[in-house]
Structure 1
Amino acid sequence: MTREARSSLIGDLQIEIEFDAPIGARTWFGIGGRAEMLIKPKDETSLQTLLRRCHQSATPVRVLGGGANLLVDDSGVDGVVLQLDQEFFTRRRYNKDGEVNRMLAMAGADLFKLVNETARQGLDGLSQLAGIPGTLGGALRMNAGGSFGDTGQAVESVSMLDMEGNRLDLQGDALSFGYRASSVPNGIILSAILRLQPDDPMAVRGRVREIFAQKSASQPMADNSAGCAFRNPTIDDVQVPAGRLIDEAGLKGLTIGGATVSERHANFISTTPQATARDVMTLMRQVQERVLDHSGAKLQPEVVIWCDDPGAPMP
């Protein structure tokens, strides 16, 4: 993109911007390439205007949350990568309109903080998300969760901008959640109203600690990893853990370059500082092929992969 094109896109907006930004290093994998432009809007108006200009100029737009479920290709990505980490987009407001069982949280709010803050205040409803990294926006988009529950069960409404900058408010029949999926359309999530239930603070904090401890015992929490690499497939109308299928295929410890199938949890891929994104992609493809050969199950990626190269070994 030329300097003139960049200026017409961002010239008068309230934003922070970084060109050729090393976004791969900011993911939980800690590897991958750069973004042509990393833009951090400071308010909704600037974000809305930017989206309209990007739509008019056919400039690609992506959103970087906490980088917890993301792999960025080594060659990086073109266009705009948004990060909603400025104060406006990380706010949360408890006791909305005097109601103790509602909270307004912006999409950039850190999920760890939301879980722990609500627990300290004796408000349950998010304890099922203990140990899940990232931001609220990312958790809403993919309905992050696990065996203890998911994000969607706490959501009353969602506000967002579509990719043309139009505001949408979703609730009721317009809002539904399934396994690692939601009905939220393509666009930029701004905020959500979450349902909470008053409870004893010690009891809520105890549940959070218990869930976190169980996850720590079975998952490689200290590794560079993006969480579960694959979705759990449905076989004969039964959802089967992808980790079990990978383990049964004898793939724990399988390594390509600096990427390894975790010995602790087979559905996690861990990386070393020397790993490349292509190592992870190639390993994921090999896991898919070998699980298919072993059990006939087709594994679909749960990790989001940003790649502009049509020749990449995409899983």
Structure 2
Amino acid sequence: MPSTLIPQLKPLLAPTGIRTLYDAPIGEMTWYKTGGRASALCYPASESELYSLISLAGNHNIPIYILGSGANLLVLNQGVQGIVISLDSPPWKTYTVNNNVLTVKAGYDLMKLIHETAKLGLAGLEPLAGIPASIGGAICMNAGGTFGEIGTHITRVRTMSAAGQIQDIAKDDLQFKYRSTNITDPFILEADFLLTSADPSALRAKVKEIFDYKKNAQPMADRSAGCTFKNPPQPPEGAQCATYKPAGQLIDESNLKGFRIGTAEVSTVHANFIAVDRDNPNADDVAAVIDHVQKAVLEKVGIQLQREVIIWP
């Protein structure tokens, strides 16, 4: 059923000239390839168009959602009432290099950028091989894994606030922690990375090595959103406590591998992945499995797992 907001949004958005898709199938744009729709999906092509959307939404109390690559997003079947903003227009998918400083817009694909910088002989991003994300989304959650995190080489992040104010945050004012940053503005516009010169052949080989490792250890061919839960916080150094265990191990030891509700199940390859069937997938089934895993692990080991996957609404 189309969103009840659409009749209100059309006369508001039409004068802006911003490319807009109404009753947009955003669930199908996620890596799960299932889920609900949005009242409107807007593709601003500049900072000024983005600002106009923010102002319009604020003036009319319309909720805003930010869609990156959809790699760690689950849209429930009910969809979202509001404006979804995507920085997927060509102006948001460019980069420049000057003296080993890479300046890249927020909409650029992380995996594509890793291959591009490797070919250019610029080292620093290859530890992120195999992580699906847009640059903006990757920075927001400090994407990373066993081999490194994206925040390591960032020297500047340009952002826009909910009020439309733009600021450039320097390295000394940035804090990157496990799956988080201290960036509070909702929109990341671009970032600078200080990379180092290296042999392109060696970099391409490293990218392949890391990608192959992940392909063998994770169910990358399945429809999922990567790791579903964050790993519990590491205990302080020297603290007297039980052996630390990551989220996947806690789920596995709770006998949840293969647990299924409808079209979704806990992966039998890596327990921190929840996959959905390719035939008739159902987003609400995924949410039900996530909820069950959280409750089961809490009951079994007393740890409340925190989601890495974002759920709309």
TM-score, shorter chain, exceeding 0.5: yes
Q: Return the offset for 1:2.
A: 6.0
1:79 is paired with a residue whose SS is strand
2:265 to 260, 272, 290: 260
Give the structure-2-normalised TM-score.
0.93
Q: Return the offset for 1:11.
A: 3.0
C-alpha distance in 2 between matches for 1:285 and 1:186: 29
Q: What is the match of residue 296 of structure 1? A: 302
Q: Which amino acid aligns with 1:149?
A: G
C-alpha distance in 2 between matches for 1:33 and 1:126: 34
Q: What is the match of residue 216 of structure 1? A: 215
C-alpha distance in 2 between matches for 1:107 and 1:80: 19
2:183 is paired with a residue whose SS is coil
2:55 to 38, 41, 52: 52
Q: Which amino acid aligns with 2:79?
A: G
1:19 is paired with a residue whose SS is strand
| Equivalent residues of 2:6, 2:23 under 8 A apart | no
1:270 to 262, 267, 275: 275
- Pair 36,149 (structure 1): closer, same or farther in 2 beyond 3 Å: same
C-alpha distance in 1 between matches for 2:259 and 2:18: 43
C-alpha distance in 2 between matches for 1:182 and 1:20: 32
Q: Return the offset for 1:3.
A: 3.6
Q: Return the offset for 1:114.
A: 0.4
Q: Return the offset for 1:14.
A: 4.0
RMSD of aligned Cα (Å): 1.4
- Pair 47,236 (structure 1): closer, same or farther in 2 beyond 3 Å: closer
Residue 7 (str. 1) matches residue 32 (str. 2): no
1:33 is paired with a residue whose SS is coil
Q: Which amino acid aligns with 1:252?
A: K
Where does the alignment leave 5 or more consecutive residues of structure 1 unmatched? 308-315
Q: What is the match of residue 92 of structure 1? A: 95
- Pair 148,239 (structure 1): closer, same or farther in 2 beyond 3 Å: farther
1:281 is paired with a residue whose SS is helix
Q: What is the match of residue 251 of structure 2? A: 246
| Equivalent residues of 2:6, 2:40 under 8 A apart | no
Q: What is the match of residue 239 of structure 2? A: none
2:288 is paired with a residue whose SS is helix
Residue 65 (str. 1) matches residue 68 (str. 2): yes
Q: Which amino acid aligns with 1:117?
A: E
> What is the 5 A alignment of 1:219-238?
219-234=218-233, 236-237=235-236
- Pair 192,257 (structure 1): closer, same or farther in 2 beyond 3 Å: same
Q: Return the offset for 1:63.
A: 1.0
Percent identity over the alignment is: 43
1:227 is paired with a residue whose SS is coil
Q: Return the offset for 1:173.
A: 3.4
1:71 is paired with a residue whose SS is strand
Q: What is the match of residue 161 of structure 2? A: 162
Q: Return the offset for 1:240.
A: 2.9
| Equivalent residues of 1:175, 1:184 under 8 A apart | yes
Give the structure-1-normalised TM-score.
0.92
Residue 31 (str. 1) matches residue 34 (str. 2): yes
C-alpha distance in 1 between matches for 2:10 and 2:58: 14
Q: Which amino acid aligns with 2:153?
A: A
| Equivalent residues of 2:234, 2:244 under 8 A apart | yes
C-alpha distance in 2 between matches for 1:4 and 1:289: 40
Q: What is the match of residue 102 of structure 2? A: 103
C-alpha distance in 2 between matches for 1:71 and 1:4: 26
- Pair 31,88 (structure 1): closer, same or farther in 2 beyond 3 Å: same
| Equivalent residues of 1:235, 1:297 under 8 A apart | no
- Pair 291,102 (structure 1): closer, same or farther in 2 beyond 3 Å: same
Q: What is the match of residue 177 of structure 1? A: 176
